[in-house]
Amino acid sequence: MSSRLDKMRLLTPGPTPLPERVRLALSKDMLHHRKGAFKSVMAEIQRKARVLFGTGQDVLTLASSGTGAMVAAMQGMFAPGEKVLVIEGGKFGERWTEIARSHGIIPLPLKVPAGQGADPEKVKKILQADADIHGVFVQLCETSTGVQHPVAEIAAITSKTPALLVVDGISGLGITPCPMDDWGLDALLTGSQKGLMLPPGLALLALSERAWEKAAAITTGNYYFNLPEERKNIRKNQTHFTPAIGLLLGLDESLNLFMEAGMDNIFRKQWALCRMARAGVEAMGLSLFAAQHPAWGVTSVSLPPRIPASQVLDIAANSFNVILAAGQGDYKERIVRIGHMGWVDWGDLSAGLHALAEACKSLGAEINSGGYLEQALAAYREAWEKGYASL
Ligand SMILES: *Cc1c(COP(=O)(O)O)cnc(C)c1O
């Protein structure tokens, strides 16, 4: 097969492909950010972003990658010397620990074995034993391992304590349900290049009422990410500094796509893609890295011994024009991650599964090539019909 004749399919857990309507919005000419036309766009974004977040709170927009919003939340809500509990189930959990340390905040890591979800009971016990823990940090989806953490259960615990729950929803928001106010989260953030179907460079962050009270008392925060200043500005449909105007025009359109489809249908599609990927991988005889609590936007596949991820990725790219991701950290060569978030559908995922199977086969792995696509598509249809509410 000649990959030159194939469409390029970007199946990575960020960045993700862009819908045509978003690309057209991104190509618009500049607006001046202190003038009325831009303020109208910001008002529209605010209205729709609150639906996306499931919150009545202000949703801040920051010109940064997703990590910028992680820094903004950590440094804007906590003071040096304060203790925070960090759920560390992979690369992005570790990032919370590093961000805390960089600001003199004391992280207490709760290690979760790679490929598993956090245990809410452990969080409860730790908080009960130490009343001096000011915050709990977690990922909605630990993208490095393809696991979804039980955020609703953790929030049910933290909301009864003074500890504030901060959720990195970068690869989960707009992919899997995470209604901020209903669940009682204290901070929820995301970046533009995962579920939101935008290029990288924009981050969104919302805080609960009690998180805003805590943030108001912080004097050691970050000059660029000044949460109270950003809040004052967003209430005037403005931002503290020059915003990423082009990306915001794109965000306005991508949020239109969400609103037109309805959040429930977006989640339903993501759930069906998750079932499809898992059914396909198992049917071809490979094993899933996250046995339980799978992320809805990325599927991690354990490779057979002596099949390195880098070679699988090369073959998938060179022979099929399918771009997959390797593992991260210790699992770099041991797992392949198929991203199926954002503007990705069952056709793209079929291509991804096929490229994975063929690449593994050509490297000498035993792949069961009879019918894995049929089984994957049957799983998609069944999950779509039943919906995720039947979980
Ligand atoms: C991608 C990702 C990040 C990092 O975001 P950047 O935009 O690269 O800064 C952080 N956390 C999670 C869960 C992610 O998936």
- The CB of 255 under 6 Å from ligand 1? The reply is no
pLDDT digits (tens, 9 = 90+) for 147-195: 999 999 999 999 999 999 999 999 999 999 999 999 999 999 999 999 9
Which atom of ligand 1 lies at the shortest distance from residue 144's CA?
15
Distance 139 CA to ligand 1 centre (A): 10
- The CB of 161 under 6 Å from ligand 1? The reply is no
- pLDDT level of residue 389 (50, 70, 90 thresholds): confident
CATH fold for the domain made of 9-16+262-390: Aspartate Aminotransferase, domain 1 (3.90.1150)
Indicate the pTM of the whole model.
Answer: 0.98
pLDDT value, residue 2: 66
Which residue, judged by its Cα, is nearest atom 5 of ligand 1?
A: 66
- The CB of 144 under 6 Å from ligand 1? The reply is no
pLDDT digits (tens, 9 = 90+) for 17-46: 999 999 999 999 999 999 999 999 999 999
CATH fold for the domain made of 31-261: Aspartate Aminotransferase; domain 2 (3.40.640)
Instruction: Report the residue among 71, 171, 202 best suited for mutation to probe ligand 1: largest number of ligand atoms under 8 A from its CB.
Output: 171
- The CB of 64 under 6 Å from ligand 1? The reply is no
Q: Where are the alpha helices (DSSP H) in 235-387?
A: 245-261, 263-283, 309-320, 346-362, 372-386
Residue 115 Ramachandran class (φ > 0 left, ψ -120 to 50 alpha, else beta): left
Closest CA to 53 of 286, 284, 234, 232: 234
The residue ranges of every structural domain in the chain are 9-16+262-390, 31-261
- The CB of 99 under 6 Å from ligand 1? The reply is no
- The CB of 89 under 6 Å from ligand 1? The reply is no
Burial of 152 (0-12, 13-18, 19+ CB in 10 A): middle
pLDDT digits (tens, 9 = 90+) for 183-227: 999 999 999 999 999 999 999 999 999 999 999 999 998 999 999
Distance 171 CA to ligand 1 centre (A): 7
Sign of the alpha-carbon dihedral angle for 55, 167, 338, 254: positive
CB neighbours of residue 177 within 10 Å: 21
- The CB of 139 under 6 Å from ligand 1? The reply is yes
pLDDT value, residue 5: 86
Give the separation between CA 274 and CA 380, rounded to whole angstroms.
Answer: 8
Query: Average pLDDT in the 76-97 region?
Result: 98
